[in-house]
Amino acid sequence: MTPTVQIYDTTLRDGTQGEGVSFSVEDKLKIARRLDQIGCHYIEGGWPGSNPKDAEFFQRARDENFRNAKLCAFGSTRKAGHSVSADANLQALVDSKAPVVTIFGKSWDFHVYQVLGTTLEENLAMIRDSVAFLKSQGLEVIFDAEHFFDGYRANPQYAMATVRAAVHAGADSVALCETNGGFLPTELQETVAYVRQAVNVPLGIHAHNDGGLAVANSILAVEAGCAHVQGTINGYGERCGNADLCVLIPNLIFKKRFPSIPEENLVHLTELSRYVSELANLNPEVRQPFVGTSAFSHKAGMHVNALLKDSQTYEHLPPESVGNKRQVLVSELSGLSNLVYKYRELNLGLDQESAEYRRILSELKELEHQGFQFEGAEGSFELLLRKAYNGYEKPFVLETMRILTELKDESHVYSEAIIKLRVKDQVVHTAAEGNGPVNALDAALRKALEEFYPAISKIQLHDYKVRVLNEHAGTGAVVRVLIETGDGRKSWGTVGVSSNIIEASWQALADSFAYGILKLSENSGSDESDS
């Protein structure tokens, strides 16, 4: 029977060493709970001997009731020339009250000489003493053999001596660390296979991604006999990061069929990935395999035509299995199949044989030729489809708009927007000021609509981008404006294109409110004016 591959998450420690990644203690506790829920076997919470934040995390984590995971504290072997009883780092590991301790030690002779500045024998003693001390405290001990593969390549006898020192001192398992991330899979796999035959404790793999091979190296290491894999959510970590568990776990479970965390738990993987991104205050990687928003996106008409017949034609596994969803994009590359799919997705009910499909497709391609782009503007695209559908009525229609911009004292720009709208059966005339013309338009539009659609108070502009489409035209160039808007539950994009930046901004802004009103109305189940 194939043994369970245990998932060892180090997002809260190694992941935080990545550029731009930082978590508060509260963030770390929240992430640890999610990791436990999805079924990780080990959660490395941090290095309690290195900073007050990690010490506080372990103190507060004592009150947590993890159902699946064991909490690990991370640290190093004792210092050269010191006794274990006098080593503050080792004592901090014990004081953390974590049931599992992972300590790293040097397995590359080059590092022993150049970094530690000690002898090879003293390094072996540091490993033996530290492991034995922690075992005497009743702890499960994992030994991370740092730089093992580089060390094995340079001096295989000594690299193996460091592993044997840990094993003889009582280490419960040994993780072979590909710390510099530059090994190719076949050489790494051969090395793991050799070590597997030479030691009698479970092996783990800890791979970095400097060569873009951390996931591949981890998979081959498991095939060669590693019983646990270390990695981070979204691949966060030092330099190019660690093995991405959001990619590694589904490959191990769905592709290699290794027993690990329960397969049914992977429906929460995409949610976990984005949750960690949110707490790290980093944008999710859209092209991240399995969990990225583009992972199951389809654009070419031929592909979508095949998907309508069988999703396996262009998808390597169902997106729902990892909690993701399929997206069909519409652009100048689209065919009728893309529109058929979108109408089905939106449940608009237009007859597939209708000539309306071809008319909308022709209009779409002409708009893209003018500079519109609907891949990041799903709000504008849905409105375009709904305008061809009998059940849709615009929530408001612009009659006139005037923008006044005044520069005072060469230091302050004053903007005022004056708009006249037809809302339902009434004409509304409003004005508002702003720190720029778009801000003034936004304020005026809200002022005009809030009486009719009170729920628009939930709608907030998140992002505003302008791109020049034909730079050679200078100040007369056509621009594309993309606006991202949200209501606290979801966000959507809208687009406008014109040689006049105000007109392009109005198009995108008006669509953002129209789409928001549509979705708020659908969610509430009644007209916003009744709320």
Of the pLDDT bands very low, low, confident and very high (cuts 50, 70, 90), residue 526 is very low
| 16, burial (CB in 10 Å: exposed 0-12, middle 13-18, buried 19+) | buried
> How does 247-278 read in b/e, with b if 16+ C-beta sit within 10 Å?
bbbbbbbbeeebebbeeebbebbbebbbbbbe
Give the chain's mean pLDDT: 89
Pairing of strands 412-423, 426-434: antiparallel
* Number of residues assigned to the chain: 531
Tokens read off for 52 = 């007050």
Task: Please give the pLDDT value at position 407.
Answer: 79
Q: Helix or strand or coil: residue 336? A: helix
433, 419 contact by CB (below 8 A): no
- pLDDT tens-digit readout, 365-398: 667 667 676 666 788 888 887 877 656 788 999 9
- pLDDT tens-digit readout, 485-496: 988 778 888 999
Task: Please give the pLDDT value at position 391.
Answer: 65
> What is the mean predicted confidence (pLDDT) over 211-219?
98
Query: Of 290, 298, 289, which is closest to residue 333 (Cα–Cα)?
Result: 298
441, 506 contact by CB (below 8 A): yes
| Beta bridge pairs of residue 205 | 176, 229
Residue 137 has pLDDT above 50, yes or no: yes
Torsion of CA 508, 511, 513, 519, to 10 degrees: -140
374, 337 contact by CB (below 8 A): no
Task: Please give the pLDDT value at position 327.
Answer: 74
> What is the mean predicted confidence (pLDDT) over 96-100?
98
- pLDDT tens-digit readout, 307-364: 666 777 778 999 999 999 887 766 544 555 565 666 666 666 655 555 666 666 666 6
Query: Of 336, 330, 327, 343, which is closest to residue 372 (Cα–Cα)?
Result: 330
Domains of the chain: 6-280 (3.20.20.70), 297-370 (no CATH), 371-390+459-531 (3.30.160.340), 396-452 (3.30.160)
- pLDDT tens-digit readout, 411-465: 677 899 999 999 988 999 999 998 888 899 999 999 999 999 998 898 988 888 8
Handedness of CA 484, 486, 491, 494 (dihedral sign): negative
Residue type, 392: Y
| Beta bridge pairs of residue 75 | 103
CA distances from 129 to 116, 146, 167, 171, 231 (A): 16, 17, 12, 11, 27
How would you write 422-487 as a 3-class SS string? EECCEEEEEEEEECCHHHHHHHHHHHHHCCCCHHHHHCEEEEEEEEECCHHHHHHCCEEEEEEEEC
Of the pLDDT bands very low, low, confident and very high (cuts 50, 70, 90), residue 528 is very low
Task: Please give the pLDDT value at position 373.
Answer: 66
100, 140 contact by CB (below 8 A): yes
> What is the mean predicted confidence (pLDDT) over 276-291?
91
- pLDDT tens-digit readout, 461-479: 888 888 888 777 777 788 9
Percent of the chain with pLDDT over 90: 66
Query: Of 383, 400, 401, which is closest to residue 392 (Cα–Cα)?
Result: 383
- pLDDT tens-digit readout, 182-192: 999 999 999 99
Task: Please give the pLDDT value at position 194.
Answer: 97
Handedness of CA 450, 346, 383, 485 (dihedral sign): positive
pTM: 0.74
